[in-house]
Amino acid sequence: MSPETPPLAVDIDGTLTDDRRALDPRVIPVIRNWPERVVVATGKAMPFPIALCEFLGIERTVIAENGGVVFVESTDRLELVGDKAAADAVAAAYREQGYDLGFGTVDLANRWRETEIVVQIDQPVAPLEVLAEDHGLVVLDTGYAYHVTDPSVDKGTGLETVCAELDREPGDFLAVGDSENDAQLFDVAGESIAVANADATARGRADRVTEASYADGFLEAVAPYRE
């Protein structure tokens, strides 16, 4: 007999995708037909997880910008937490030192961000970390970008906000992810699973690690609830 299906909090990049960040089509029916609440928890700006929920046909319950942005459709609640002015100041100072955020002129990675900024993973991180510390912020390395963000928020605080809106407990949730920005989510969830491609921080904070990587790992993680 399958265990009772828990609500699900799931990352996107590296968890529902392949190694090129393309959504694996096999995850679509799994999430669409998940019988409990699904929370999409990501470091991306809010339009990305909102669009994912739209196209998956599920209720828009999202944690974006590593917990800086939380939206719960069923209660029409949007919460923004973070010092965007400080993050913008870090970006400006980084550019003044001769560096670049790395996303081009239009910069879709930062265009809709409301609480943090991100820098392309191939840009120098040491000066970014110094500037972030000077402004009371931290740098998260998600494996896909450097996030300059408020240390008081994370995906764990985001899930707590969602749960307060829905009269649930974070411990009710199964969390699946792959990166250091999932670690605090793993800390508060009732069950946490890192996919095999996860970084050392996520692996160390998860209850278990799958044998498979990327979307294959996600499918392995949720398989006990689908049998």
Q: Catalytic residues, which ones?
A: 11
- As a whole number of angstroms, the distance between CA 132 and CA 138 comes to 6
Q: Which two tokens stand for residue 124?
A: 């120098």
In the chain, the DSSP E strands lie at: 8-10, 38-41, 61-64, 69-72, 77-80, 117-120, 138-141, 145-149, 174-177, 191-194, 208-209
Using DSSP's 3-state secondary structure scheme, residue 49 falls into helix
According to DSSP, the residues that pair with 220 across neighbouring strands are none
- As a whole number of angstroms, the distance between CA 13 and CA 144 comes to 8
